[in-house]
Structure 1
Amino acid sequence: MTLPDLLILRHGETEWNRAGRLQGKLDSPLTEEGLRQADRQAEILAALDLTGWSALSSPQGRALATAARALPGRSVLQDARLREIGLGDWTGRLRSDLAAEHPHLFQGEGLGWYDHAPGGEGLLALESRLRAFLGALNGPVVIVTHGITSRVLRCLAQGLPVKAFETVGGGQGVVYRVSGGQSELLR
């Protein structure tokens, strides 16, 4: 799949991120640090020529709040395909509690446990909706989304298997440029 250039932003830190609580489809407000991260994203984007670029965001509050600060004065359309992976019964739970209940899933720093949430969306469904999203793009776009969604999106845009999502890097308030199948973290 040939893709246009992408700038992929993860929302800034939220209160639940700081507490270690899984958000999934739910939301919590950006922290002061999250607001600073969104402002830093705005600085990074301001240094780029975004003439002809569109802007799309997850409809979830934390992404929209980040988009408002990172893309001031720009029209940002919402796309539900950019929402975070659904976590089913684990939505709103503390990661530490889940790790205590399911230690075999949370050994080490891996993220594969996202695929085991009871009633959750799962990585295959996330991959399917993100392939549809990428297939519909017709020009360069700034994307404001979430942690796991960003990782899987970048895997697909780079032609990597989705299972590589654990290795492509993450972080709060980051900006990745994906062009010609290569990803670069902008600082």
Structure 2
Amino acid sequence: MHDLYILRHGETTWNREGRMQGHLNAPLTDLGQAQAAAQGAVLAQRDLRGFAFYSSPLARAVQTAGLALGGVATEIHTDARLREIDVGAWQGKLRHSFAAPNAVEGPDGDLSVYASAPGEGLAGVAARARAFLADLDGPAVIVCHGIISRFLRCAALGLDDAAWDTLPGGQGNVFYLHKGRAEELH
């Protein structure tokens, strides 16, 4: 596997409200814009010669990519396979209304809701992640979303898809994958 930097978009107004976004969009908050700028500062310290730059076509990722990669990328390609999980009719609704009674909340809320969400399902996201990585022909910087980020990292690290919810999350992070290992950069 090639070296990868995987970035999750910065906080949006809907993230702050606890809404399921899926393929819908909400703008980055001031914090989200600061997170994207911080991602850019991390990447500015790295040697990215020879890297390709990719983003989900969803506005929150494109906005993050512009802020984070503006100083290092001459061209950013969008790829629909990097979109967030499609949660169907749950898009725009508050996440807590779908959470299990004794749900464990992490930085991205209760991840168990995605197992029962309408829409494409986790297997669809995993298949998109593997297909995207299979088409890469060199190192890449990828700006995407919380759930697809986890499946990209599972595939790149050779983990079973079932490990997706054990990987760290949060917003505005930069994960560096190199020689089968992942490191979160700050």
Which residue in the other structure is 2:42 paired with?
A: 44
Per the TM alignment, residue 179 of structure 1 is displaced from its structure 2 partner at its CA by 1.1
Identical-pair percentage: 52
Per the TM alignment, residue 15 of structure 1 is displaced from its structure 2 partner at its CA by 0.2
Q: Distance in 2 between matches of 1:152 and 1:111?
A: 13
Which residue in the other structure is 1:114 paired with?
A: 114
Q: Distance in 2 between matches of 1:113 and 1:162?
A: 16
The runs of 5 or more residues in structure 2 that have no matched partner are none
Per the TM alignment, residue 98 of structure 1 is displaced from its structure 2 partner at its CA by 2.1
The residue type equivalent to 1:185 in the other structure is E
Per the TM alignment, residue 107 of structure 1 is displaced from its structure 2 partner at its CA by 2.1
Per the TM alignment, residue 180 of structure 1 is displaced from its structure 2 partner at its CA by 1.3
Which residue in the other structure is 2:152 paired with?
A: 153
The residue type equivalent to 1:173 in the other structure is G
Per the TM alignment, residue 97 of structure 1 is displaced from its structure 2 partner at its CA by 2.0
Q: Distance in 1 between matches of 2:11 and 2:166?
A: 20
May I ask how many residue pairs the two structures share in their alignment?
A: 180
Within 5 A, what are the aligned runs for 1:11-90? Answer: 11-73=9-71, 74=73, 75-90=75-90
The residue type equivalent to 2:7 in the other structure is L
Per the TM alignment, residue 111 of structure 1 is displaced from its structure 2 partner at its CA by 1.5
Q: Which runs of 4+ in 1 moved over 3 A?
A: none
Which residue in the other structure is 1:127 paired with?
A: 126
Cα RMSD (Å): 1.2
The runs of 5 or more residues in structure 1 that have no matched partner are none
Per the TM alignment, residue 113 of structure 1 is displaced from its structure 2 partner at its CA by 2.0
The residue type equivalent to 2:148 in the other structure is T
Within 5 A, what are the aligned runs for 1:3-18? Answer: 3-18=1-16
Q: Distance in 2 between matches of 1:125 and 1:66?
A: 24
Using structure 2 for the length normalisation, give the TM-score: 0.93
Q: Distance in 1 between matches of 2:176 and 2:35?
A: 17
Q: Distance in 2 between matches of 1:177 and 1:84?
A: 20
The residue type equivalent to 1:42 in the other structure is G
Deviates more, 1:52-61 or 1:68-77: 68-77
